[in-house]
Amino acid sequence: MAKIIAIANQKGGVGKTTTAINLCAALGETQRRVLLIDLDPQGNATTGAGVDKNAHDLTTCDVLLSTCQTKEAIVSPEHVKFDVMPSNADLTAAEVHLMSTEGRERRLAEALTQVQEDYDYIYIDCPPALNVLTLNAFVAANGVLIPMQCEYYALEGLSSLLQTIKQVQGSVNPQLAIEGILRTMFDGRNKLGHEVSNQLIEHFESRVYRTIIPRNIRLAEAPSFGQPIVYYDKSSRGSIAYLALAGEIIRREMATASARNAAQTASRDEASQSVEASTDDNKNSAESVPSDTAGRGDKPVESSSQEAPTVS
Ligand SMILES: Nc1ncnc2c1ncn2[C@@H]1O[C@H](COP(=O)(O)OP(=O)(O)O)[C@@H](O)[C@H]1O
Ligand SMILES: [Mg+2]
């Protein structure tokens, strides 16, 4: 079942779309089944992935308005190894329409249940606003990837983003997590960049991806050729960074899965030990505690059979 990640930051120009396209392409290179959903009426993720945003009758707009099946709005471009749900200016109309619709924030989540088994990862490129579209992404997602440019105003607005995530967690989507903070357009020569980067690590600790996306002109050029960086210039620093990010994400996932398995095995072992112990205790207490001493206080009778096994 697909892991669904919203790529969000209400600031524009921080690298959301660039990350969406290039991360999907990099994960596609590792044979993962990936879907990129363009949830921005600007349609930059669509064109950057090499899909003509006005050539498709069915787009994210139709999916949100339930005027088509989810699969019908997905295209599989030949030159990339991921699928795309394209978007264009029609999405603005959907946004307006949704405002007066019951259950408006759940539309995308409901639509994605139709395709969740078909992918390993679904990435949603959000618009630069905390609007009903972004809300749909947060309700549908397991996590949020936040691209941050390490500059003076980077942290501004972060609290309202975190607040929105918290509200969604506390209401419609308790499983929503901060998947990771990604430092983008990083310029190592800039002292301020390092300072902001350190602040992010101080605040978000291990949730900051180790991979840093450098400022790289090839990343800025690639969209005008409709090509993800791994095809446009595979050996560029930008390409290497997004491939490294894909690797980091996969390794994190594997580490989480093996920790989960270990915890499950441990709790199963503990549960069976506890059942064995309680069976022994019951036997012992029945055999060794004479009924006339039980409850007198000179030897407490433990009721270990009542104890629930601890689940870590
Ligand atoms: N690492 C990078 N190096 C150089 N230019 C970048 C980089 N990431 C993004 N850009 C450019 O910066 C601009 C904004 O990026 P974009 O991904 O569209 O941001 P957002 O989706 O957050 O608005 C685009 O012109 C893009 O090509
Ligand atoms: Mg964008």
Share of the chain above pLDDT 90, in %: 76
Residue 39 near ligand 1, beta carbon < 6 Å: no
* Residue 282: pLDDT band with limits 50, 70, 90: low
Output the CATH code of domain 3-249.
3.40.50.300
Tell the residue nearest (CA) to atom 24 of ligand 1.
Answer: 220
Task: Flag the least confident range among 91-100, 150-159, 175-184.
Answer: 150-159
Atom of ligand 1 nearest to the CA of 221: 27
Flag whether pLDDT at 284 surpasses 90.
Answer: no
Asked whether 31 and 19 are in contact (CB, 8 A), the reply is no
Note the ligand closest to the C-alpha atom of 8.
1
Alpha-carbon distance of 85 to 133, in angstroms, equals: 14
Higher-scoring residue by pLDDT: 100, 126: 126
Domain ranges of the chain: 3-249, 261-306
pLDDT score for 266: 86
Ligand 1 centroid to residue 297 C-alpha, Å: 73
Ligand 2 centroid to residue 294 C-alpha, Å: 72
Of 19, 224, 194, 27, the residue nearest 121 (C-alpha): 27
pLDDT score for 152: 79
As a whole number, mean pLDDT of residues 80-95 equals: 96
Flag whether pLDDT at 307 surpasses 50.
Answer: no
List Cβ neighbours of 83 (8 Å cut-off, separation of 6 or more). Answer: 34, 35, 36, 74, 75, 76, 119
Helix axes 90-99, 132-140, angle to 10 degrees: 80
Residue 212's DSSP bridge partners are 183
Q: Kindly provide the residue ranges of all beta strands, DSSP E only, lying in 39-172, ordered along the sequence.
A: 83-85, 121-125, 143-149
Q: What does DSSP assign to residue 36?
A: E
Residue 12 near ligand 1, beta carbon < 6 Å: yes
Ligand 1 centroid to residue 101 C-alpha, Å: 33
pLDDT score for 144: 98
Tokens 């088994």 sit on residue: 117
Ligand 1 centroid to residue 206 C-alpha, Å: 24
Flag whether pLDDT at 295 surpasses 50.
Answer: no
Share of the chain above pLDDT 70, in %: 88
As a whole number, mean pLDDT of residues 156-173 equals: 92
Tell the residue nearest (CA) to atom 8 of ligand 1.
Answer: 15
As a whole number, mean pLDDT of residues 186-192 equals: 91
Tell the residue nearest (CA) to atom 23 of ligand 1.
Answer: 13
Query: For 91, phi and psi rounded to 5 degrees?
Result: -65, -25
67-74 contacts, C-beta under 8 A, 24 or more apart: 69/114, 70/111, 70/112, 70/114, 70/115, 71/114, 71/115, 74/35, 74/115
User: Measured on CA atoms in the order 30, 85, 117, 19, is the torsion positive or negative?
Assistant: positive
Flag whether pLDDT at 27 surpasses 90.
Answer: yes
Query: For 41, phi and psi rounded to 5 degrees?
Result: -55, -20
* Residue 297: pLDDT band with limits 50, 70, 90: very low
Residue 15 near ligand 1, beta carbon < 6 Å: yes
As a whole number, mean pLDDT of residues 187-194 equals: 91
Strand order, beta sheet including 208-214: 83-85, 34-38, 121-125, 3-7, 143-149, 177-186, 208-214
pLDDT score for 296: 35
What's the whole-model pTM score?
A: 0.86
* Residue 132: pLDDT band with limits 50, 70, 90: very high
pLDDT score for 272: 76
List Cβ neighbours of 299 (8 Å cut-off, separation of 6 or more). Answer: 289, 293
Asked whether 18 and 228 are in contact (CB, 8 A), the reply is no
pLDDT digits (tens, 9 = 90+) for 214-269: 999 999 999 999 999 999 999 999 999 999 999 999 999 999 888 888 888 888 88
Alpha-carbon distance of 163 to 201, in angstroms, equals: 19
State which of 18, 39, 146, 151 you would mutate to test the pocket of ligand 1, scoring each by most atoms of that ligand within 8 A of its C-beta: 18
As a whole number, mean pLDDT of residues 123-133 equals: 96
As a whole number, mean pLDDT of residues 109-134 equals: 97
Other Cβ atoms closer than 10 A to 27: 25
Ligand 1 centroid to residue 146 C-alpha, Å: 14
As a whole number, mean pLDDT of residues 273-296 equals: 51
